[in-house]
A = this chain, B = another copy of it.
């Protein structure tokens, strides 16, 4: 699979708006601002959830959400996906009859959490997953991936205030998705992988977002053995990663990174001293 098979298109119409305001000097400024709009997901006539999204790849977002919520099974046949941009609705249809009335009630109890809504039966599946211990991660790949991803044109560099997630293999970024919620970006990748039949074997997941319990749970569910993030950790995220033998690398910026789980997969093949620091431009963007 070639590098950046899917990449953000910061110039795509509708993903950002140019808004007028004033700066610290009182001067008029025009600022590109990322769009955020509701998308309501139906599965076979049942309303499942409304997601806040930038609105690209609604089909992959819908599939990935259903997969990561265990509402769609790997062997399910999707007979249709209808998307209505004006109504902000996406409908997924399957051969199998589905009814998640009970699950939706259960979800109510965990909704509103900082990380969206993945728990309950999702955790049962989580505990059964064993990630491949044989997969290695060369530390030179961490630097190559960060450099390539940070230099790739994106809404992140254009507008800030958005998260990016990238499916990678060795030192090659493959599928780069962005969204206002990092859990949407990862769901879009999950949907793309399922639809295109891409194996999680020996894949690496790169994210700009924090390594919270939700991100770890979703990555493990997707059977991806390695996660790299620009951001920091939460203790529960680390705890879950250690349970699943997930290699968890955070604060990956410039020469630096920290690995708090699955360090035995690391192969130190490069001297960090030879790695250039990030440009201040990207450092500044990163904080938005």
Contact = CB atoms under 8 A, between A and B. Distances in A.
Interface string A23-51: 11110010101111110100000011111
Interface stretch (A100-108, A127-135, A168-176): A100-108
Contacts of A183: 112, 114
A236 B258 CA distance: 36
A contact patch SS: mixed
> How many copies make up the complex?
2
A70 to B, nearest CB: 13
A contact residues, range: 35 or more
A287 interface: yes
A31 B258 contact: yes
Interface of A: 16-17, 19-26, 29, 31, 33-38, 40, 47-53, 65, 104-105, 107-117, 119, 139, 159-161, 179-184, 210-213, 230-238, 251, 253, 255-261, 263, 266, 268, 272, 283-284, 286-288
Given A33-B235, A52-B114, A253-B284, 8 more contacts: A21-B259, A21-B261, A22-B263, A38-B110, A51-B114, A52-B113, A114-B182, A160-B251
